[in-house]
Structure 1
Amino acid sequence: MNFLAHAYLGGEVAEHRLGGFLGDFVKGPLDNAPGGLPAEVLAGVELHRRLDSFAETHPAFCRSRERISPARRRVAGIMVDLFYDHFLARDWAEWSALAAGDLPRGLAQFSAGLYAQAEALGPALPQRLAAILPRMRGDDWLASYREPEIIALALDRMAQRFTRPSARMALCGAGAELLQDYAGFAADCRAFLPDAQAFARRWRQARGAPSAPPY
């Protein structure tokens, strides 16, 4: 899952949603995380990591990886992450109604709240995210994921960050595969998300996560 799905699965606690959103930018043990991130944001990062592990063995997610062409299989996980964000963004009104808490039915409102929360962290915001947050907010990356061509563009941009030529070549143009089996990926995502929601809910219950009002 990419930024949007991780934030969505953070549930009713705004700090958990923020931790899910920025989880890819926090590396290493969380009990020694730099930057002074609040405890509940770090809890959201922990949930992000647990959801990544959950996804790796989920049957629907595995089916999606198998749909990726053999030439791109090494980057299949990255592709499926973004494909699922596309379907979540496309059907946001439906999925937001099924979420824990009272998430905004408008995706632009939800994403604006996340960007504002991230910006409010100030110096505690991971530097790599701080560097791209103005562009992310200005172009509203999360809401733009509803368009398949934006997914293709995002994958092409990711390709440029890889140092290995083989990985760059595998990701470049990878967005075309979303359209080649669009219904299959959509069905996989629809099977995966409720199970991921249930997993996140069990994690919150086991942890005794506090309820919080929506932002």
Structure 2
Amino acid sequence: MNFLAHLYLSGDSDELLLGNFIGDYVKGRKYLTFSAEVQKGILLHRAIDAYTDSHPLVKEAADFFRPHYGRYAGIVTDVILDHFLARYWRDYSVYSLREFAKHVHAVLLSNFFQLPIRVKGFLPFLIQHKRLESYARVEGIQQSLHIMAHRTSLPDKTNQAMDVLETNFELLHELFDRFFVEIICYVEQQHGVQMSQKPTL
């Protein structure tokens, strides 16, 4: 999962949210230097990634991008999943995406000195450019993939990814909806996350 989904799946705990956000940047047993609740967030991040990467619905979605991205298809799929969460945010939260993003920014800024160095480096950009909110737009996803292609080993096949998304939009959206219901149940039941922000269906 990408940033937005990890943050959403942190539920109501700000410390859990902090740990979940920095999870990729805290390696090995370094998580033990943080408070107990932040540790839980870091371990939750790892559990969410493992659950997502092994889930058949996510693998099915990744297959659409595999011809262009090969072994990197899962990375692109993570970004696409964030797009569906952001675009259909009101299906999953009683708060607006802007309200949620502002809360996330406030939590991260108030804990700035706890953040790993790499997170400190990109956090101002994430806030200034409203990156979390930008995921709701195709242009925002396109920009994210372009940035990743220039800063990581991700192939620069963004145009092809956008074509795949447009051509298979409804099917990918359906796969996301089915998967996200399951991962919400997973974090609630297996990790005790309280998800009061989700709407009552």
The alignment's TM-score, normalised by the length of structure 2, stands at 0.88
- Of residues 176, 182, 199, the one that matches 1:195 is 182
Gap change, CA 1:23 and 1:176, over 3 Å in 2: farther
How far does residue 32 in structure 1 lie from its aligned partner after superposition?
Answer: 4.0
Q: Distance in 2 between matches of 1:84 and 1:190?
A: 9
- Of residues 46, 51, 55, the one that matches 1:54 is 51
- Of residues 123, 137, 145, the one that matches 2:135 is 145
Letter in 1 for 2:105: Y
**What is the total number of aligned residue pairs between the two structures?**
197
How far does residue 204 in structure 1 lie from its aligned partner after superposition?
Answer: 2.7
Letter in 2 for 1:12: D
**Residue 155 of structure 2: SS of its match in structure 1?**
helix
How far does residue 56 in structure 1 lie from its aligned partner after superposition?
Answer: 1.4
- Cα offsets for 1:138-181 (capped at 9, x unmatched): 1111011000111011001001112x5xx434567534332231
> Is 1:81 aligned with 2:78?
yes
**Residue 130 of structure 1: SS of its match in structure 2?**
helix
How far does residue 183 in structure 1 lie from its aligned partner after superposition?
Answer: 1.1
**Residue 136 of structure 2: SS of its match in structure 1?**
coil
**Residue 199 of structure 1: SS of its match in structure 2?**
helix
Q: Distance in 1 between matches of 2:41 and 2:47?
A: 10
> Is 1:38 aligned with 2:25?
no
Gap change, CA 1:176 and 1:83, over 3 Å in 2: same
- Cα offsets for 1:27-65 (capped at 9, x unmatched): 2224544xxx33212211111110111011212101101
The alignment's TM-score, normalised by the length of structure 1, stands at 0.83
Query: Does the CA contact (< 8 Å) of 2:84 and 2:173 recur in 1?
Result: yes
> Is 1:130 aligned with 2:120?
yes
> Tell me, which stretches of 5 or more residues in structure 2 are unaligned?
none
Query: Does the CA contact (< 8 Å) of 2:4 and 2:82 recur in 1?
Result: yes
Query: Does the CA contact (< 8 Å) of 1:2 and 1:85 recur in 2?
Result: yes
Matched ranges for 1:1-215 at <5 A: 1-33=1-33, 37-97=34-94, 105-162=95-152, 164=153, 167-170=154-157, 174-205=161-192
Q: Distance in 2 between matches of 1:55 and 1:212?
A: 18
How far does residue 118 in structure 1 lie from its aligned partner after superposition?
Answer: 0.9
Gap change, CA 1:117 and 1:213, over 3 Å in 2: farther
